[in-house]
Amino acid sequence: MEDKDYLKRYKPEVLKKLHTVQLKMLKDFSEVCDKYEIPYFVVYGTAIGAVRHHGFIPWDDDIDVAMLREDYNKFFEIFENEMGDEYKLLTPQIDGRYACTVTHIQRKGTRFVSEMSKDLKCEQCIFMDIFPFDKVANDDRKASSQGKMANFFGKMLFLSGTANPVIKYGGMKKRIAQLACSTIHIVLKICHITPRILYKRYLSVATAYNNDEACEYVTSFEYTGCLKDKVKAKELFPVKKVVFEDLIVNIPANNDELLKKIYGDYMKMPPEAERVNHMPLIIQFEGEEPIYESK
């Protein structure tokens, strides 16, 4: 993969069609959450899109939603009965070939394979992401350890599924990183350290303080900046209603504070070089032939 392949753009008609499928997914998800009074909120790029564009960021190609871990667990319990006809959940616990911490809701009968996920052997469909928010340890030293260990197991989990992750820098630094990733992947395979094992370790770290009433802050431990972006759980609620395309969706009560922590001036359009997406190698809509979009 060339260093700037992740900046490739969709054909407009393909992206529009993808957005239509994802909006249906978000609508169905939202209706189920409302039915069972499960609080959720859109986050990250979807939250920016909601307040800056009143819909998708023009080049974005996924949907991000979040909920507290207890609500996430409740959603898991009712998912199959409410959404199982058209959708399926994907985690390493459900499919041991999936090597990522982020939970996917996948649309059955579709395909979506990106450069980042091409080595995974699990079934990959058009998806939306769910990010459970877990409590951060009150003690700074413990919180730092929690963040570092969650990040470590998350990276090991990803490398257990691929020896060739996307590396966005070049030269000698890239070659060294590629060698290190390949070596780690081989060692994990030799030692039979599977995605399920690593995901279980990740979860044990991420959820370690969820029963501690003294812990006020929560975050999604799926990425490196998780501790920088922590927020008080009580400040996420009550959620606010905003327009997203032709839907009404939830954003956190402290949406502005949260987005500023993560992105800075999120209302300012980023330069072209920073308008990244998950550009697929293969995308297939239900009942249609695959589109080899990257060719």
CB 238 within 8 A of CB 226: no
Question: 244 pairs with which residues across the strands?
Answer: 247
Question: 87 pairs with which residues across the strands?
Answer: 107
Average pLDDT estimate for 29-40: 98
Average pLDDT estimate for 43-50: 98
Q: pLDDT value at position 261?
A: 94
Write out the two tokens for 26. 């978000």
Residue range 146-176, pLDDT digits in tens: 999 999 999 999 999 998 887 777 788 888 8
Residue range 238-263, pLDDT digits in tens: 999 999 999 999 999 999 999 999 99
Q: Using 50, 70 and 90 to split pLDDT, how confident is the model at 275?
A: confident
Residue type for 114, please? S
Whether residue 65 has pLDDT greater than 50: yes
Whether residue 92 has pLDDT greater than 70: yes
Report strand pairing: 64-68 vs 41-42: antiparallel
Q: pLDDT value at position 2?
A: 42
Q: pLDDT value at position 292?
A: 79
Residue type for 10, please? Y
Cis peptide before 195 (omega within 30 of 0): no
| DSSP codes, 239-262 | -EEEEETTEEEEE-TTHHHHHHHH
What percentage of the chain reaches a pLDDT higher than 70? 96
Non-local (6+) Cβ contacts of 264 within 8 A are none
Q: pLDDT value at position 200?
A: 98
Whether residue 72 has pLDDT greater than 60: yes
Q: pLDDT value at position 294?
A: 55
Whether residue 5 has pLDDT greater than 90: no
Coil, strand or helix: which one is 235? helix
Residues in the chain, total: 295
Coil, strand or helix: which one is 104? strand
Whether residue 35 has pLDDT greater than 70: yes
Residue with tokens 């059955």: 108
- Tell which wins on pLDDT, 1 or 85: 85
Q: Distance between CA 288 and CA 191 in Å, rounded? A: 41
Whether residue 3 has pLDDT greater than 50: no
Cis peptide before 290 (omega within 30 of 0): no
CB 249 within 8 A of CB 239: no
Phi, psi of 66 (to 5 degrees): -140, 160
H or E element in which residue 114 lies: strand 111-114
Residue range 116-151, pLDDT digits in tens: 899 999 999 999 999 999 999 999 999 999 999 999
Whether residue 1 has pLDDT greater than 50: no
